[in-house]
Amino acid sequence: MSHESDSFIDEVTEEVRRDRLYRLFRRYGWIGLLVIAIIVGGAAWREYANNQRRTAAEAWGDAVLAAQNSDDPVAGLAALDGGGNANRTALGDLLAAGAAMEADGQAAAQPYLERAAAEGGDDVLTDLARLKAVIAAGESLDQADRDAALTDLSKPGAPFRLLALEQKAVALIAADRNDDALTLIREIQNEDGVSQALQTRLAQMVIMLGADLEDDPMGADATSPDNNTAPAPADAE
């Protein structure tokens, strides 16, 4: 008898629990459904947004290729529509500057480089455009402006610090300040992250200045017949 009573109580208790759960679901179940809908909708929106960005990037890439293969690549690249994306607009101007430099020399690239530097996009692209503009301008750029630009571009943490320091050394050599140039070259050689190409160009400057290569990190490699040439102002790597 006791066993039947306990079984009945258990059944009643279970029924009460089910009834409470049902009432809670009716009262608050919509919250769970809303959360699920938000999660699913958010995932769908992210996929849609990613697809839109991917499609826009592919379309812009196709436009770049078409401009480069056109009869006038400089004009085609300069006319690229960044679609409101400052980085793409700046990159288009940088590409136009490169095409202009190949076709007509550094001076022709200057307007596009100045425009790229003023676009206000990614800091790395902006600094690259500024450095290329300084190189393209060469001695036509006011010395004070050149020094100010290179000082800013060579500050610690700047993405093209070493290349800007190299241009400082080139400017010192052009100004017949060979001792100062050599001191700066030695400092650059001791910096972390100096590429082999930059080390080679620095060693060539040392040779041109008639200094001893004994302390030069590239050593004899820089004196090989293929490398023993006077340095030209380096473009950004």
In single-letter form, the type of residue at position 161 comes to R
- Residue 212, in any domain of the structure: yes
- Residue 45, in any domain of the structure: no
pLDDT given at position 119: 66
In single-letter form, the type of residue at position 164 comes to A
- Residue 132, in any domain of the structure: no
pLDDT mean over 162-180: 92
A 10 A CB-CB count for 93 gives: 27
- Residue 201, in any domain of the structure: yes
Domains of the chain: total: 1
pLDDT digits (tens, 9 = 90+) for 137-147: 877 778 888 88
DSSP string over 42-84: HHHHHHHHHHHHHHHHHHHHHHHHHHHTSS-HHHHHHT---TT
pLDDT at position 221 over 50: no
Query: Burial, 184: exposed, middle or buried (Cβ in 10 Å; 0-12, 13-18, 19+)?
Result: buried
**Residue 218's domain spans which residues?**
142-237
pLDDT at position 226 over 50: no
- Residue 113, in any domain of the structure: no
- Residue 228, in any domain of the structure: yes
- Residue 26, in any domain of the structure: no
pLDDT digits (tens, 9 = 90+) for 92-143: 888 888 888 887 777 778 788 878 777 666 788 888 888 888 888 877 778 8
Q: Structure pTM?
A: 0.61
pLDDT at position 223 over 60: no
- Residue 52, in any domain of the structure: no
- Please, what is the average pLDDT of the chain? 80
